[in-house]
A and B are shown apart, each in its own frame.
Chain A
Amino acid sequence: MPAKFDLPQGTLDLLILKVVALGPVHGYAIAQRLHQVSRDVVQAPQGTLYPALHRLENRGLLAADWKQTETGRDAKFYRLTRKGKAQLETESASWQKLTEAVSLILALSEGGAE
């Protein structure tokens, strides 16, 4: 079993936005999705998930409605607002940039100075 990583600061928000962008979804499903997609590599403690959801809702990036699940149970479904969508785009872009820069630097050190 691979070692689990703690999420870098601020990335949980980005991941949540990405998951919610796929369609309205409740908190438990978000936890499951994060769990599956990251194949147990990324450890998002479920205790931090809900405060993050509420924070994003408070900032107007997410909106929430109470709807019934397929099993007929009431659950709080989150969806992305327009503001959230914009935030997701800028954040993924800057994440992309950051990781590219980091891997570039790593590659450089392996190749040595020319």
Chain B
Amino acid sequence: MTWWHRVTHLKKMEDQLDNELAFHIEQLTADLIARGHSAVEARRLARLELGGPEQVKEDCRDARGTRWLEDFFQDVRYAVRTLRQRPGFAAVALLSLALGTGATTVMFSLIDGVMLKPFAYRDPSRLLRLWEQTDWSTQFGSLWAFTYPNYLDCRQAVRSLDMAVWEVNRGTLSEPGAAEFLDGVEASHELFPLLGVNVELGRAFLPEEDKPGAAPVALISHSVWQRHFGGSRDALGAKLIFDGHPYTVVGVLPAAFRLEDDQFDVFTPVGQDTSQGMQNRGAHAFRVWARPRPGASLGQAQTELTLVGQRLAKQYPDTNKGRTFVAQALKPDVGDTKQTLYLLLGAVVLVLLIACANIASLLLARAVSRGRELAMRAALGAGRGRLARQCLTESGVLAVMGGALGVTLAAIGIRPFALFWPGGLPRAQEVQLNWRVLLFALAVSLLSGLLFGLAPALRAPARHLEQTLRSGARTLARGAHRLHGTFVASEIAIAVVLLVSAGLLGRTMMRLSALDPGVDIHSPRAPLSLPLPWPTPSGRERPGSTCSIRSGAFPASRQRPSSIPYPCEMAAILSTTPRSQRISKRVMSTPPCWPTA
């Protein structure tokens, strides 16, 4: 019989125990009568022989080994009953707990989704991102993206790493279908095997296609496949014109494929790019990802990278002086959101602590009024540990119920919260309630239950029983007074800290939103930006791809794109939208203003 069976068949077990003992007494009585005792006398003797029936039963229950669980269920039932007797107390406690755990859960799921959730690649924990590191710092720090020649040297010299390189390459997909400005990527043929990503259709790049002069091939995203090729298998081998160049489609990537959480639509082999930037040791535009080869360690790889860095610094002092290469774990780049998230997590933990202190003092007040009951239990033989366990079970029940409410609140609130994050939350699509978040919520609830249940549990009576029983619940012991005072003091202290930090945070936010961006963004004449498919002259140097438009009358012009839906007064063309975080590979030196009113 397993313990699970014993617990689920508690009633039956009790009945059987009763039967067994009754059988014993019956048999013994019968035997005694046979030996000449009177019926009454025999029954009395039989009972005497066995001992107090309740005592024997208790011993048997103890011997079952599931006693703690039975006690636990009993305590839970009792806790729920006492909570229902005091609906006011229960409502206040549950509500404050729900708010506390709910807010904490929301913050944790944000942190989980934004920072902790790994990329959806094969064995993501072993993936590395390589950086160029300078021994001086700019305002952006000392880590730089790679240049292509440096990458080639590293790949050749470092034996312990498998490497791949890619860079963003935005452009216009002009055929087939309606022209569209898209985010593309130039990637080396190693990228997809390195990440363990399989194409949905067709094949990935071949090594021989990753060279200058090779047949131009492209991979497309699932959504481009649907929009431009109707999801047909004929897409394989079809022509595609991207950025003025014809390519043959050889494969379709799965719909869920992302690079650093961004979706890219057209992939071309980086080795075929013969533009000047590819030979330039000053063009830091390339992201290098790597994975240690089987048996190789990170330390080994780092040593090799440092050696290459030193050699190149001597060989190309103009560009590589003071420059070396470092490997870091490949992690989502969330910018300074990290600090904000941790700050907010700290704030909501403080809120939770206030809730705990609140409930603790409520429970303490109740424990004082229940002093008589507890003293009675102690007098009837309940041990101090047993009483403390009962108190903790009660607070645990309260905590878990509050936690469940909190998770419900979090489930409702998390979407809007992530969406209304000022400035847009990176990786917002990854934020969701999952088992990790639920586990966290459970742990937080139990921990807070322990926290606010500890004080009343420790006060479980052990001494002066008689006094307590006689005096009733009228007087508050001096110790409880002091504890109460401590709770109030700490609550006020935490609240002040919270208030001050919330005030500071609010001020920062207000200042940020009042910051002058240098452009009047509030007037009806505010500039708009819109990504445009741009007619590219053949060749790599296109005039630009993003159009900033100022509203107003848009004059007829010789090159006016037909798709601008707004009346424009003035338009400027640039490859990077001002104040946007994404930087395109080729930045125009001076955005040409076009056309002017």
Interface residues in chain A, defined as those with a beta carbon under 8 Å from any beta carbon in chain B? 26-28, 31, 45-48, 50-52, 54-55, 57-58, 66, 73-76
Contacts and interface: CB of A to CB of B under 8 A. Distances in A.
B56 A47 contact: yes
A4 to B, nearest CB: 14
A46 B62 CA distance: 17
A28 B56 contact: no
Contact of A47 (B16, B23, B51): B51
A58 B63 contact: yes
13 contacts: A26-B23, A31-B24, A45-B51, A46-B51, A47-B50, A47-B52, A48-B59, A50-B20, A51-B63, A54-B60, A75-B20, A76-B20, A76-B23
A46 B50 contact: yes
Interface string B1-38: 10000000000000010011101101110000000000
B63 A55 contact: yes
B60 A50 contact: yes
B60 A76 contact: no
Nearest to A76: B20
A48 B51 CA distance: 9
Contacts of B65: 58
Nearest to A58: B65
A31 B51 CA distance: 14
Contacts of B16: 66, 76
Contacts of B27: 28
Contacts of A48: 59
In the A-B complex, the 8 residue pairs with the smallest Cβ-Cβ separation, listed nearest first, are A47-B51, A51-B59, A55-B63, A54-B63, A28-B27, A51-B63, A54-B60, A28-B24
Nearest to B55: A47
Interface of B: 1, 16, 19-21, 23-24, 26-28, 49-52, 55-56, 59-60, 62-65
Contacts of B62: 51
Q: Which of A54, A74, A76 has the most CB of B within 10 A?
A: A54
Given A46-B50, A47-B51, A52 B23 contact: no
Given A28-B28, A58-B65, A66-B16, A50 B59 contact: yes
A54 B61 CA distance: 8
B164 to A, nearest CB: 58
A51 B56 contact: yes
A46 B49 contact: yes
Nearest to B59: A51
Given A54-B64, A66-B16, A76-B19, A47 B59 contact: yes
Contacts of B59: 47-48, 50-51
A43 to B, nearest CB: 11
Contacts of A75: 20, 23
Given A28-B28, A76-B16, A50 B21 contact: yes
A4 B352 CA distance: 64
Nearest to B46: A46
A52 B59 CA distance: 9
